[in-house]
Structure 1
Amino acid sequence: MFAAGMLMAAAVPGYGTGPAVPAPGPQFTPLTAAVMTKPTPFEATDGKTHLSYELLTTNALPSSARVRLDRVEVRDARTHRVVGSLSGQALADAANPVGDPLPGADGYTPAPPGPTPTVIPGSQEWVIWLDLALDRGQRVPKVLEHHLSGAVLTASGASPFEETVQITPTGRTAPLNLNAPVRPGTWYSSESCCGNTHHRRGLGPINGRFYVPQRFAIDWYRVGEQGQTWEGDPARLASYLSYRQPVVAAAGGRVVEVQDGIPDNAPPVTPPVPPIEQTVGNHVTVEVAPGRYLLYAHLKPGSLKVREGDHVEPGRVLGLIGNSGNSTTPHLHFQVMTTPEFFPTDSPPFTFREFRVVGQVEPRLWDDNLGLQPTGVLPITPSPYDGPHRARYPLDREVLEF
């Protein structure tokens, strides 16, 4: 249930750890790189501590010079010890041009293998999707550095290179630990971190810079006793068990933004892309800490129970699940933001106080294809992470009970 591009500390093909290697001194580098967010550790249901972030990488050479990227190492900047790496097919599956997402991010099918080797044309920018997953007890470095190696390809041949780029501190503030944003019951966590989904890999150029505004967002679907998410005619909103389910405050705070009046879309066909200001449809945004906002999106028009300026306590009903905005089938889009507005925002990780994993869904079923299945019953199978969890983040396609 993990993407092929996940960085693991275990020694498996395409990944690796290694001895301490000192960083080089000043040098001209064919590649430049920058991280888009401060990598912040969080514990997920697999029991590992994850740091999920991106490395924007530019071939700074003329268009006649391509760069073959053979290996990306993430190192502890203090000791230079490798804590995770990508190479070969795993690297190819975790890198793409900024304007050309990898197949599979649309959610319909698993991504086919990317082209191997990874070759970045001259004067072009790519994004490398990183998910560092540390085993229990493994120390999170305070500062990370990234070591790139490969070869510059020109008409005269291949010239090997190595470079250390983008030294960045890791986040030291614990993620928000939240209550459930929905009423008790069985729920399907769709499009959550850390695979090739449109949330995790949704790179957007907004107001002159790149963002991944939904990095840790989760789409929640109500699941019935027989594993069903809809019954009857999938073209009717009322057929979906999520529709009109209460949305509740996952933490106390002040309501800073409310939008209502956007009609529900008719499922199960993907609607036209709405104007950018209507992307998340009817929604409520609650400030719960300085620089931390909870977004409850795609709500039913006319169902919102709060106004801007209201102070809410955990568990208060904010509205009902609908199908407004950029939504094909009824669900709750929930995430933490760093700004009151969805565009632009960063998307930091979060955890839930208490829940139980009761299964997983192997096929990628999500908003745009859930209502197109022969039935609304999810193909739920046992998960290696079944059981109770506290202060953890649910991974993609897990079925859980709040």
Structure 2
Amino acid sequence: MTPPNLFRLYASLCLLWLATPVQAQTLQESFDLHVPMPPTPVAIDGQTRLFYELHLSNFSRQSLDPVRVEVLDAASGTLLATFEGDALERQLDRSGLQWKATAGAPIEPGRRGIVFFELALPPGTAMPAALMHRIDYRAAADEGDASRVEGARVAVEREPAMTLGPPLRGGPWIAIHDPAWERGHRRVLYAIDGKARTPGRFAVDWVKLDAQGRKSARAGDSVAQAYSHGEDVLAVADATVASVRDGLPERRRLSERSDHALATGGGNTVVLDLGGGRFAHYGHLRPGSTRVLAGQRVRRGQKIAEVGFTGSASNPQLHFNLADAASALGSEGLPFAIDRFRSLGRYMRIGDVGSVPWVPRGDGEPTRERELPAGNSVVMFGD
């Protein structure tokens, strides 16, 4: 082709390009997706679950409403779980404050929503090496279909939960924990020393019951009559005592106002250094009952204190959790399993505890090994 013909062809292509309407790319601001701690496998009642949180931060100038959350195997793209409607609301804190969240309310500009997962994989599904997340959401100005964002790829923690001895003797004891509770341990973050953490990710409050599900032999307001009060608290492993606090007074009546201060809300405490960056935290201990000192070596099963009613406890109870530091609030909660316990049943509604018996298991009272007791389940320690 001669140069003039080449020029005419080039000119024609330019005119065609100018005449062709340009499709403007639609941009939509989305949530910033973030998983602060790796999903951690925990065995509960014969099933492995992945505990973790997905943070949905809204940096846009309009409210964003998450309507559907999907969890996928990051390698294969296989859909592992879907949460929407009531199932999503049970696990989503929309307030960004872990307090008084309104179901269905959009997440406002500058706020953060958090999805609290205790993800049970479909039967026969191999543990994925990493997860990916897909969020369908609507912006305030949207009138049509929801927008979608995919991200927050995160590797699954491969190290198993640490197996511990029981922190108490006998029973029955109810293991109180539930991700759906506002201000429950699972839902509370503390920003200490410049970093937000969830120390109570796997925390359990233990309350002793009788066969009728009562917390005390007699109705009334007396702390001393509670079955839990004064029960032996045990070292869960061979360890070194990291810290002890035993100077806070105990309330005598259940109706007395509790202490919710950050520094003393845990009441009298003992922290054990188990080694390997793991620390066992015991809270709400009875004044004067502590039998150990900082720096002392203890053996698994050794009595270290007694159950009390100090700090922010709602009943005489033992608070127990495992974390990655000795600081009660400046630490991340770590998973743990108890080497052996008998599972008696559970409560479907936490408000029934103390007034009616628990719901017995349909398969008897099996002995569970190397598991975390299910939320609001009732267990016995020892043979």
Is the pair's TM-score, using the shorter chain for normalization, greater than 0.5?
yes
Q: Quick one: which amino acid aligns to residue 67 of structure 1?
A: L
Q: Quick one: which amino acid aligns to residue 367 of structure 2?
A: P
C-alpha distance in structure 1 between counterparts of 2:256 and 2:47, whole Å: 35
Partner of 1:32: 32
C-alpha distance in structure 2 between counterparts of 1:100 and 1:298, whole Å: 23
Q: Return the match for 1:131 from 118, 125, 129.
A: 118
C-alpha distance in structure 2 between counterparts of 1:48 and 1:148, whole Å: 26
Partner of 2:82: 85
Does 1:143 find its partner at 2:144?
no
Query: Residues 38-81 of structure 1, C-alpha deviation per residue, up to 9 Å, x if partnerless?
Result: 21001102x2211122111112211xx23232211111111111
Q: Quick one: which amino acid aligns to residue 119 of structure 2?
A: L
Does 1:58 find its partner at 2:44?
no
Q: Return the match for 1:292 from 248, 272, 278.
A: 278
C-alpha distance in structure 2 between counterparts of 1:353 and 1:264, whole Å: 32
Which shifted more, 221-230 or 310-319?
221-230
Q: Return the match for 2:181 from 196, 204, 207.
A: 196
The answer (yes or no) to whether the contact 2:267–2:284 under 8 Å persists in 1 is yes
Does 1:393 find its partner at 2:372?
yes
Partner of 1:221: 207
1:90 match: secondary structure: helix
Partner of 2:65: 68
Query: Which aligned segments of 4 or more residues in structure 1 are displaced greater than 6 angstroms?
Result: none
C-alpha distance in structure 2 between counterparts of 1:275 and 1:59, whole Å: 30
Partner of 2:268: 282
Give 1:237 deviation, angstroms: 1.9
Q: Return the match for 2:149 from 137, 143, 163.
A: 163
Change (3 A) 1:217 1:121: same
Give 1:354 deviation, angstroms: 0.9
C-alpha distance in structure 2 between counterparts of 1:159 and 1:189, whole Å: 43
Which shifted more, 232-241 or 199-208?
199-208
Does 1:115 find its partner at 2:106?
no
C-alpha distance in structure 2 between counterparts of 1:229 and 1:115, whole Å: 32
C-alpha distance in structure 1 between counterparts of 2:314 and 2:333, whole Å: 22
Q: What do you get for the CA RMSD once the two structures are aligned?
A: 2.3
C-alpha distance in structure 2 between counterparts of 1:392 and 1:121, whole Å: 39
C-alpha distance in structure 2 between counterparts of 1:92 and 1:361, whole Å: 21
Give 1:255 deviation, angstroms: 0.6
Give 1:135 deviation, angstroms: 4.3
Change (3 A) 1:37 1:265: farther
Partner of 1:101: 99
Q: Which runs of 5+ in 1 are unaligned?
A: 1-26, 104-113, 371-375
C-alpha distance in structure 2 between counterparts of 1:291 and 1:174, whole Å: 14
The answer (yes or no) to whether the contact 1:98–1:203 under 8 Å persists in 2 is no
Q: Return the match for 1:380 from 336, 354, 358.
A: 358
Partner of 1:261: 247
C-alpha distance in structure 1 between counterparts of 2:304 and 2:123, whole Å: 37
The answer (yes or no) to whether the contact 1:60–1:122 under 8 Å persists in 2 is yes
Partner of 1:108: none
Does 1:301 find its partner at 2:301?
no
C-alpha distance in structure 2 between counterparts of 1:138 and 1:234, whole Å: 50
C-alpha distance in structure 2 between counterparts of 1:100 and 1:246, whole Å: 33
Which shifted more, 85-94 or 170-179?
85-94
Partner of 1:12: none
Which shifted more, 30-39 or 295-304?
30-39
C-alpha distance in structure 2 between counterparts of 1:201 and 1:102, whole Å: 12
Which shifted more, 33-42 or 205-214?
205-214
Query: Residues 10-51 of structure 1, C-alpha deviation per residue, up to 9 Å, x if partnerless?
Result: xxxxxxxxxxxxxxxxx9751102113221001102x22111
C-alpha distance in structure 2 between counterparts of 1:282 and 1:41, whole Å: 31
Report which of the two structures shows the higher radius of gyration computed on alpha carbons. 2
TM-score, scaled relative to structure 1 = 0.81
Give 1:209 deviation, angstroms: 3.6
Partner of 1:322: 308
Change (3 A) 1:378 1:202: farther
Change (3 A) 1:277 1:123: closer
Q: Quick one: which amino acid aligns to residue 344 of structure 1?
A: G
The answer (yes or no) to whether the contact 2:98–2:188 under 8 Å persists in 1 is no
Q: Which runs of 5+ in 2 are unaligned?
A: 1-26
Change (3 A) 1:383 1:256: same
The answer (yes or no) to whether the contact 2:91–2:115 under 8 Å persists in 1 is yes
